Each structure stands twice: as structure tokens, then as C-alpha cells.
Amino acid sequence: MTIRTSRLPLFAGIALALSCLAAPAHASADATKEEAIAMVKKGIAFIKANGADKGYGAITAKDPQFIDRDLYLVVYGLDGKCLAHGANPKQVGRDLIELTDIDGKFFIKERVAMVKAKPAGAWQEYKFTNPVSKKIEPKVMYCEKLAETAVCGGVYP
């Protein structure tokens, strides 16, 4: 089959249009900081509206509204006890205050202190296993205080 040269611009235009449509999907492979903030706020609203038991259960059960690509929610008591975890339900109920990242950073202890100091919201940097890539990567976690808990969602920049 031969393509007449008069149709080449048409085919080139179609190919360009299709590649432009595919680009946004590839560019948004990882969640953004803005999406993390929005999800934390959504989680807090859900917990306030439905109670802690239902809220923590939905987060831990990986309810689609609380998990998006590499973004998920976690909730810690201000004592470091994990109350809900959107990526690893085995963490729920465990005291994680002494947990460290690969660099030895006590990130749960730091997170709890951060939320006490800045209850309206703050960012934390540490390293953690990305649930999508399964590799330890730099992560930034956004947290807000809700009652005596820290509700957090993080992204891998």
C-alpha cells in the first residue's frame, strides 16, 4: 500500500494529536503535592462526618477515594501508634514512634512533633518505599492535625 504525499500532512497531524493525548497520562504517573493536600483534607472531612472507626477502616481498606497511584493516607495517634494505613494494613495498631528511614531519621517522631507545632498543615521530608516502584525513594508527606491524630498523605517528587 502506498500513501500519497498529499495525505502525509493529515497522517502527521493525527499522529501528533494522538501523542499529545497520551502525554498527560504519562506526565501524571506520580501524584502531586496539591493532590496530597486535597486527599488529606478529604480524609479529614470523611473522618469528621463518619467517625474515626469508619474513616480509619475506609483508609486501611484502600477505599478508592483514599488511594491514587503512589498517594495514600495514613493516620497516627500523637503517641506514634498507627491508626490507619492505606498501603500496609499490617502497620495498624503498631507503635511506630521509633521507626526510622534508611538514613536513620525518626520520621514518625518528627511527624508527630511537626503536627503538634503546626496543626494547620506542614510538609515533612524522608525516605520510604514507593508502593508503585517498590524502591526506597525521597518522599514528602503532608500532615494536618485532627483531634489527637496526624492525618497524612505523601508523594514521591
So what's the pLDDT on residue 30?
85
So what's the pLDDT on residue 25?
38
So what's the pLDDT on residue 61?
96
Q: What is the pLDDT along the chain (157 residues), one digit of tens a residue?
A: 554 545 444 333 433 333 333 333 334 588 999 999 999 999 999 999 999 999 999 999 999 999 999 999 999 999 999 999 999 999 999 999 999 999 999 999 999 999 999 999 999 999 999 888 999 999 999 999 999 999 999 999 8
Q: Which of 46, 42, 53 is nearest to 142 (CA)?
A: 42
So what's the pLDDT on residue 104?
97
So what's the pLDDT on residue 11?
38
User: What are the structural domains, with CATH classification, of the chain?
Assistant: 29-155 (3.30.450.20)
Helices and strands, counts by H and E, the chain: 4, 6
pTM of the model as a whole: 0.81
So what's the pLDDT on residue 29?
82
Residues 125 and 127: their CA atoms lie apart, in Å, by 7
Helix residue ranges, H only, the chain: 8-27, 33-50, 52-60, 107-117
So what's the pLDDT on residue 44?
98
So what's the pLDDT on residue 102?
95
Query: CB within 8 A of 77, min separation 6: which ones?
Result: 83, 148, 149
Residues 126 and 137: their CA atoms lie apart, in Å, by 8
